[in-house]
Structure 1
Amino acid sequence: MTDLKELYEVVKKRNANDTEFLQAVEEVFESLNVIAQVHPEKLDDDVLTRIVEPERQILFRVPWVDDNGKTQVNRGYRIEFNSAIGPYKGGLRFHPSVNVSIIKFLGFEQIFKNALTTLPMGGGKGGSDFDPKGKSDGEVMRFCQSFMTELARHIGPNTDIPAGDIGVGGREIGYLFGQYKRIRNEFSGVLTGKGLTYGGSLIRTEATGYGLCYFTQALLKDNGTSFEGKTVAISGSGNVAIYACEKATQLGAKVVTMSDSNGFIYDPEGIDLALVKDIKEVRRGRIKEYVEAKPNATYTEGARPWSIKCDIALPCATQNELDLDDAKALVANGVFAVCEGANMPTTPDAIHYLMNNGVFYAPGKASNAGGVACSGLEMSQNAQHLSWTAEEVDEKLEGIMVNIFNTCRDTAKEYGHEKEYVVGANIASFLKVAEAMKAQGTV
């Protein structure tokens, strides 16, 4: 059996500047140490040394022409991390912060997240440091067409199926899909998150937020409670946050906060989601505009919402947004559960503090898997040339999320770490991928 500490040092040396990636590896290895103590024979040397190294890393130039006729150049990335249980599957992120470390961390997380869904999907991730904010539709289209011109040679419906992520919504997916179709002369399920008129799935837009709440509801139910009558703090105001707010409200909770990169709003009467949708989806404005229409609400510049008293916290914005001080504030205010809607939004010391203080913590690879689960359902519909109803997709999504919770709960208990859902998530997903890798030999 490989010494995990020694292997981590090797990974650290090889990826010295990839902070986010190293954080993700360390979190998984922390759980794998539990296997080492209980079933060391399940930690295969060959698998461990391979699983931390991407199968393929693609970096490319993306030249495009802005509305002033000037050529701009961005960097494009696609990291195809692991295909042991299916074709690479994972989103594209367009944001100025995108770099190799962030894409590698997201791709590594995606391996385990996809394994938990039980659908045949490997792990990958991609994106660019292009910022769609403030760009015209024409500029976004030209960028997407240039991006896909290079990416098209690396992807396909049975090879690598990208989707959306931060900065990549329906508009961007449409432009990307159109360019792929033009280049390859085929209409296929090469992208998920497509529009309903050209092969998309109902509920896909809502899936990550809805799925987060289905997972959280299963956790709450297993611990003798529910969303009913609870106060919920949510960060973010993109798709995940909006639809987590919608579903939590439907399940009887009162959501009191939302945020963007500038600050957060607090509405003690409960978030008016129709207003948030108008600001973010129609006007493409900032969350602070909310208080102009809601005099009882407050806006706090340059802060995150974790100081607000709540029963349930759902971080849905970005990585490392909930740190140790935030965790202390949540615990002091009596928080019951923290379930992640974003990828790795909670720092390691914050996770430990929450769990050490009796807070139920759900890692994003489990609780936010609803988006990729619905993408898998979209792939199934495309392959069968079918379109399921919203009710059918929603029912399947809820079933998948409840099953993910049960898997995390049961695996954690089996390995002597009852209620530690992060341990259950990491061990269950790792063992599935490891078994597939061993069966396929050294590839």
Structure 2
Amino acid sequence: MTSLFPDEPAAFTPPPGPGPDAPLAERQRPRRLADYAGQQHLVGEKGVLRRYLNSGRLPSLILWGPPGVGKTTLAHLLASELKQPFSALSAINAGVKDVRDVIDKAKRQRGTVLFIDEIHRFSKAQQDALLGAVEQGTVTLIGATTENPSFEVIPALLSRCQVYVLEPLSAETLRELVAKALREDEALKQKKVKLAEDHALLALSGGDARKLLNLLEIVVQSTPPDKKGVVTITDAVVQEVAQRPLAKYDKGGEMHYDVISAFIKSMRGSDPNAALYYLAVMLEGGEDVKFIARRMLILASEDIGNANPNALMLATSCFQACTVIGLPESDLILAQTVVYLATSVKSNASYMAIRAAQAEVKANGVYPVPVPLRNAPTRLMKQLGYGKEYAYSHNGEGNFEEQEFLPDALSGTRFYEPGLNPSEQKIQERLRSWWGEKYGY
């Protein structure tokens, strides 16, 4: 645990800067918000966090984003700007006792900012220990996570925090970080460095500023200068130093969207070979396996649906397994699911049905619910006949009672068109036996 609590209440004081032997990423960590790179939608002139700072107060918040985009740095800078007491915990090695110790100290220093790195690693008990202090304002919580807080942070704590998404750093921002390091870092300034190419630097960093700067430092230190004393950085030099081939895939750029589009369309088009190829491209490019699995979940409903209901079950199991296992073993689970989805019978009938229903609501608004279907929790509602003529379906033959469920204005409207596949043809036969000619099945 790192704590910056003095014995008596005092304003936040930034810790001393890193020494010359610290990695470049640490040496370049900004000490002022004005020097912070990226995330202008949060800290720019019109950014929401900037507005909070201008008001002199900060709510409890969760910073969600990929590694190396500045979550930890931003938390320190926010506390520094407000000059508030500051304490930091790492969820990797902190326990409930550490949380309670910080809260006890914070009770003597109102306005304390508590930063918890990797908050998604906190257990439910650890997160529960924070609830009272956050709700009462004993601490202002700033949590940092690379995982979706909807799944990883308990609802009670999440409801007490604002969630802000940190975006992957753009190529322009990464280039600015490289230029700034070459221009300002005391160690790098002693060398004559020529940046001839930067594609490999940016691609191998994966949008992670920490990885980018540390790779830059290693490349500069390990590359011998030419006869004029100039260290020239090229893509080939970076690849040689990093000992990694350059996958032509930028998970934060245009190709990210092109490849995932081709991946989905290949499964939709029932081509497992193409789908596996694009899966390999994404895996070799460092794509988040949960992003891939989420898109497969969507495809299972949108493009397969009730033609093969098992597809959604397998896609769900795939997502859960990838979440638990991670790489490298998740590639096998993803590959199995890709082959299953690509070779499954297809139907977009459910997708088309909900889109048609949504179009109806948007075009004509919401019609009154039929009186027999309405809830009747009060005596007056019962007197008005709410729910009175409802026929309980299980009392009918075959658990079916013919009655009107749609609003009168939409009676007989058909949104769902069963697909031409064995599974949905059976569904169509059941609908026809129940409803006769009402919906035209």
**Under TM normalisation by the shorter chain, which class is it?**
under 0.3
Higher RCO, Cα 8 Å, sep 6+: 1
Of Structure 1 and Structure 2, the greater strand share is in 1
TM norm structure 1: 0.25
Q: Which has the larger radius of gyration?
A: 2
